[in-house]
A and B are shown apart, each in its own frame.
Chain A
Amino acid sequence: GIQVEQSPPDLILQEGANSTLRCNFSDSVNNLQWFHQNPWGQLINLFYIPSGTKQNGRLSATTVATERYSLLYISSSQTTDSGVYFCAVGNSGNTPLVFGKGTRLSVIA
């Protein structure tokens, strides 16, 4: 099955700093999503981005499908950005998402 690797596993940032999270996947995919898991466990969908670039406020994401990786950029980080960021991939809307192990981000004031 598809393998998903995320890096770095842990990241500590000072408030206001920028960061880049990476997701590598082992096979072609039609579905790639980035999630943020808050301290209460809920997964919040950030982006659906099987290819191309999208931006939403301080967050943006780029997926290069031909090279099988995706990047999540967080600019001007805030303490509320803390949590675990997951990349998840799949082959279609009807097949299950395969998650990476996540990047745990801690933003300190």
Chain B
Amino acid sequence: ETGVTQSPTHLIKTRGQQVTLRCSSQSGHNTVSWYQQALGQGPQFIFQYYREEENGRGNFPPRFSGLQFPNYSSELNVNALELDDSALYLCASSLRDFYGYTFGSGTRLTVV
């Protein structure tokens, strides 16, 4: 049984650019959630995907968007990057109607 894999592990982007982060969910899980963790803070919910559709969204602007693919893997896209987007982005997979979440190691994004 494989865990959650995220890529890349680190990324440096310039303000105004666009970025795509990737997540492979744990085998058997059908739901993917994305979280943003700023330095010294707890993770904050961005959105969740189930059956390739957005299934809940936190307080993030529309320039944060995502996709889920038929194999349950997922992408997080951020357009028009701002300095405050610098954070650790965590992906978590779960099985709908069950409570266990498995988190990946995250992608650390730095916007300069």
Contact = CB atoms under 8 A, between A and B. Distances in A.
Interface of A: 4, 31, 33, 35, 40-45, 48, 86, 88, 93-102
Interface of B: prevailing SS = strand
A86 B40 CA distance: 12
B41 A93 contact: no
17 contacts: A4-B42, A33-B101, A42-B103, A42-B104, A42-B105, A42-B106, A43-B90, A86-B43, A88-B42, A93-B98, A94-B50, A97-B33, A97-B43, A97-B101, A99-B44, A100-B42, A101-B42
A97 B31 contact: no
A96 B42 contact: no
Given A96-B33, A99-B43, A99-B44, A33 B99 contact: yes
Nearest to B57: A96
B95 to A, nearest CB: 8
